[in-house]
Amino acid sequence: MHPEPERHCRIPRQAASGVGNSGRVPDLPEVTFGARAIATRVRAPEHARMLSSLRTALQPLLQPLGLAGLLTILTVGYSMRFVEAPSRLAAHLLLAAYLALFVLLQFLPEHRRGWRHAALLAMPLVVLALCRLSVEVGASQVLLVIWAACTVAAWPVRLAAPVVVLVNVAFFLVLRSLGFHDPLPMVLINLGFQALGAICVYYAESAERARAALARVNADLLATRALLADSARDAERLRMARELHDVAGHKLTAMRLNLRALAADPALAGRADVALAERLAGELMGDIRQVVQSLRDDRGLDLATALRALAAPFPRPSLHLTIAPGVRITDPAVAETVLRLAQEALTNSARHAGAERVWLRIDHGVDGLRIEIHDDGQCGADLREGNGIAGMRERLAALDGALMVGRTERGGLRLLARLPA
């Protein structure tokens, strides 16, 4: 007889306490593998979070340019097996260096300009060295197509175009030094593919910038519309309060005085209906006063909704908004200024600091309204105020406010604005 295989069983936690939902211990044990339940081995939410985190981490390489670059590098790597044995190791090392530079370029944030420029300048040097080692294969120069596309994506066209031409001149000289009698056709064909890739990237980047600009303009319109609608509602409430107080209140007062005069008439002094009408008129006057007071109770403009609408099109950085209790902004000019401060801060954090989060807090200071904005990015050692910061100062100065610009302890941008109460 064969011994019975060992079974790992575990009583469910609910049954371990004595009874289940039905009042008895379930007959079937929970099937396990080893010491852990199969059902709990991989939890769906954790698995989804892991996939989401991985997708977010690899997002730069999952873009069209990143995928095209990786496929091209893999194809060139496959062709390296045809390189002669003495040069094969060096060719693979050069290709690995190009891959490292390409991946570094995709992951470097835009504010790391020095590193990005260094990677873009090093990539063609690696390709030219690789061409010298693998000239008999004739595939290494394809890497210049990916480099040209990256150059146009990172640099202005007026700078990228001359650099691409100079690199192709260097490629021509390398081929001549290797004994090619007329390398010009090969260089021109390769330059044509570089131009095609660069043009595709240029128009894709232009379309993306136009889409982002349109989204920001749309968010700006939505935020402004929210403030205008809120201001219009407040104006309508004040108008209704004035109408109730001036028209209905006046007529009710006149009616109550007439009823009081009738109640004082000896001929009608004993009538209960006259006294009831006079009392109801008094109660109605009190109710109207409460309604008028409620309509005049201004809770301020809904600035939170407008700020969130403004930050909605920014995929990065995310806005973390805090408005202290008791803060009420009733002046549309002040609300518009706060809106523009937040807009400029989000733009600066996205373009120059590479921030992931921006914190905005509005509260009451000693001398009025206090607006503090800071991010988790990295500013340069020398904070230079551009047109955006100058525009902020002008808006605040028009309302007798002030702006202070500095850095956080971790190197992020910090803005502190003050407006009089």
Per-residue pLDDT reduced to its tens digit, 222-252: 777 777 776 777 777 778 877 777 777 777 7
Q: Could you tell me the sign of the dihedral formed by the alpha carbons of 78, 84, 85, 90, in that order?
A: negative
Q: What is the pLDDT of residues 342-381, one digit of tens each?
A: 888 887 777 766 677 888 888 887 778 888 888 887 776 6
Closest CA to 335 of 365, 310, 367, 366: 310
CA distance linking residue 60 with residue 47, whole number of Å: 22
**What 3-state DSSP class applies to 235?**
helix
pLDDT score of 94: 93
Q: Is residue 14 within 8 Å of residue 20, measured between CB atoms?
A: yes
Q: Is residue 407 a contact partner of residue 379, using CB atoms and an 8 Å limit? A: yes
Q: State both tokens at 139.
A: 């595939």
DSSP state of 400: T
Contact of 218 with 316, CB cutoff 8 Å: no
Closest among 343, 334, 340, 307 to 323, alpha carbons compared: 307
Mean pLDDT in residue range 210-224: 76
Residue 143 has what pLDDT? 93
The DSSP element (H or E) to which 104 belongs, if any, is helix 85-107
Task: Spell out the domain ranges in the chain.
Answer: 9-40, 60-181, 223-296, 303-420
When pLDDT is cut at 50, 70 and 90, the band that residue 19 belongs to is very low
Span 303-420: which CATH code? 3.30.565.10
Confidence at residue 324, expressed as pLDDT on a 0 to 100 scale:
83
d(CA 306, CA 227): 7
The answer on pLDDT for 103 being more than 80 is yes
Amino acid identity of residue 186, one-letter, is M
Verdict on whether the full-model pTM lies above 0.85: no
Q: How confident is the model at residue 29 (pLDDT cuts 50, 70, 90)?
A: very low
* Cβ partners under 8 Å of residue 15, min gap 6: 25, 26
Average pLDDT over residues 286-293: 76
Residues 311-346 have pLDDT tens digits of: 777 767 788 888 888 787 777 788 888 888 888 888
110-163 residue pLDDT tens: 767 888 899 999 999 999 999 888 776 678 899 999 999 999 988 999 999 999
For 32, phi then psi, to 5°, come to: -130, 165
